[in-house]
Structure 1
């Protein structure tokens, strides 16, 4: 389904909902995919919200949520502020109302305060696109458009064809090439729908310069070239900072989910090598700098092995060692490795030069730590702080 067809469908569906009339059969089947009872049941008095934002803005990327959350009767119930606004100011058009970016406006924020959730997503999409997006340009779809006060994941059984026809195909039709979901529900949904997996970043996958070691990404293939990236964390799934988002785009678009440029290492080799480097206590940031340096000099690598002293890693191409990585390199603190060129080493080998560590060799065992329960609140962005007083959005302490 094209996004303009989706607009027509939901405009008519909203008119039916406002008059307390049955929805079209295909939407009733969609609504029936969630079977929560009692406090977890659908709020039938609340308006469904399949997306917010302007679909005509030709977004480069969109965000996605599983469901719209608990409803505020003063806004989302029949005779509430939003249905009245849709009828009085937009001639009954749900799409025209959604295109105004209503959750960033004074009407909503005067009752609920600054919309931190939507603000995070706007900053993330602005960093991804490299543009200062207006609220109407922040397009956010939901997989299940109906409100529920206490959402139960195990009560949701979505038909893959429903997701494709009513969510993913319309997203691709807008011109978006990337769609982002945040939280383990999205990760699990992608795996449950058996979508083709294109890439994995973070622990268990390719490294990228994240400042949160437990941030992980799963990238799947959707219709018409759409790339679906799901992020999960051990704590609140807050989108990364501007700088990390820019690095994330570079890593994703230089991989199998992006421009499909010729790579100097296979995805499997890169993931396996990253796991070995983590055992040497090399940070994700430094592992990524190393990988980018190898790519920058177009150095071919087809395997890795323990070096002669069994305390480092030797990168190999056609049985020749081309780069050696020592534990003392694990903590180098430069903007990027010094390896902008490859210089000949002894006996015909080549070395990618990196600075030595300032504090000596790192341990060679992997550290496994349990993520502490976050406490406190940041006075700048109002997110829950980590126990050490640091803000997950890096606003400060």
Structure 2
């Protein structure tokens, strides 16, 4: 039976995280060139003290297939209590769930113990993207099973202090190919740094909306939208405005939806039906509040 890209990528990361949790710290190809592709220093220096986190959500569709894909820069600040080899999440993976892919179906960063008041508390980063998912799908009861987040760079750092220029072939194999199998037309990336990543990956730019491009009706000063074509024919939608790396509000989401409908070349920019049971310093608060 043919192995899908999602199965292949999940199996790769399951094996790598299992090896790391067992005490190893290998960087076999292509992880070596991926790790070296970001040269952050100071608060932006990446660490391998915590396990890598390449995606968040039900990649395999073990419980339900994701209908929204959002891109992040990296998993944010390393938290020893949770992400070290003897941390809370490491023990969950080893002792309760058995694999990174199965553990990720539980939405670990939006449940206890992470969200407890005496631990990390409410995850504003994740909640904002879940709310955007509900608005975009027009389903108030959409949950974490509908949302899949891929990271551009799977290792932790407190901030982003250098350009992210991941190898194109690595992102193609470990990000674009699994996304191509999902029932989404548009993939979203919030915050201006992702526009730089898209350019570094040499993705074809197909439309410029808002600031520096065609007016599309946004009421937010400086809001910009850049639409790139992915190898699959899906679209990468990068969006930002000054002072924010988060998703647009409910009214602005509808304006964006209408704009993407007008710029679509292969049909409406709407979610497909539910499938069965998958330079400057950027502070951590911009990516992982």
TM-score, scaled to structure 1: 0.62
CA distance in structure 1 between the aligned counterparts of 2:159 and 2:129, rounded to whole angstroms = 23
- In 1: Cα distance, 2:265 partner to 2:101 partner: 31
1:104 aligns with 2:104: no
Aligned counterpart, 1:301: none
Q: Could you report, residue by residue, the CA deviation over 1:27-61 in whole angstroms, capped at 9, with x for unpaired residues?
A: 22211212334543321111100011112132232
Inter-CA distance 234–170: structure 2 relative to 1 (3 Å threshold): same
The answer to whether the Cα contact below 8 Å between 1:215 and 1:234 also exists between their aligned partners in 2 is: yes
Answer yes or no: is the 8 Å Cα contact 1:66–1:186 preserved in 2: yes
**Alpha-carbon distance in structure 1 between the residues aligned to 2:45 and 2:153:** 13
* Secondary structure in structure 1 of the residue aligned to 2:232: helix
What does residue 266 of structure 1 align with? Answer: none
Partner of 2:221: 213
Superposition CA RMSD, Å: 2.1
Q: Is the 8 A contact 1:198 1:221 kept in 2?
A: yes
User: In the TM superposition, what whole-angstrom CA distance separates every residue of 1:359-385 from its partner, at most 9, and x where no partner exists?
Assistant: xxxxxxxxxxxxxxxxxxxxxxxx99x
- The answer for the alignment partner of 1:43 in structure 2 is 47
Q: Are 1:70 and 2:77 matched, yes or no?
A: yes
**Are 1:192 and 2:191 counterparts?**
no
Structure 2 residue 129 is matched with structure 1 residue 121: yes
Is the partner of 2:53 in helix, strand or coil? coil
Name the CA distance, whole Å, in 1 between partners of 2:113 and 2:48: 23
Which residue is equivalent to 2:172? Answer: 164
Q: Of 234, 237, 240, which residue of structure 2 is paired with 1:232?
A: 240
Does residue 15 (structure 1) correspond to residue 21 (structure 2)? The answer is no
What SS class does the counterpart of residue 194 from structure 1 fall into? coil
- For the pair shown, which has the larger CA radius of gyration, 1 or 2? 1
The 1:42–1:48 alpha-carbon spacing in structure 2 relative to 1, beyond 3 Å, is: same
Give 1:258 deviation, angstroms: 5.3
C-alpha distance in structure 1 between counterparts of 2:265 and 2:172, whole Å? 19
Give matches, 1:1-397, under 5 Å: 2-21=5-24, 22-37=26-41, 39-55=43-59, 56=61, 57-91=64-98, 93-110=99-116, 111-131=119-139, 132-154=141-163, 156-256=164-264, 259=267
SS in 2 for 1:62: strand
Partner deviation per Cα, 1:301-331 (whole Å, 9 max, x = no partner): xxxxxxxxxxxxxxxxxxxxxxxxxxxxxxx
Partners of 1:200 and 1:206 within 8 A in 2:
yes
Moved more, 165-174 or 17-26: 17-26
Distance 2:232 2:83 in 1: 34
Aligned length: 261
Unpaired runs of at least 5, structure 2: 270-284
In structure 2, relative to structure 1, the CA distance for the partners of 1:197 and 1:38 (3 Å cut) is closer
CA distance in structure 1 between the aligned counterparts of 2:27 and 2:142, rounded to whole angstroms: 34
Aligned-pair distance for 1:257?
Answer: 5.2
1:135 Cα deviation from its structure 2 partner = 2.0
Question: Which ranges in structure 1 are unaligned for 5 or more consecutive residues?
Answer: 262-382, 385-397
- State the Cα deviation string for residues 150-169 of structure 1 (Å, max 9, x = none): 43223x33211111111111
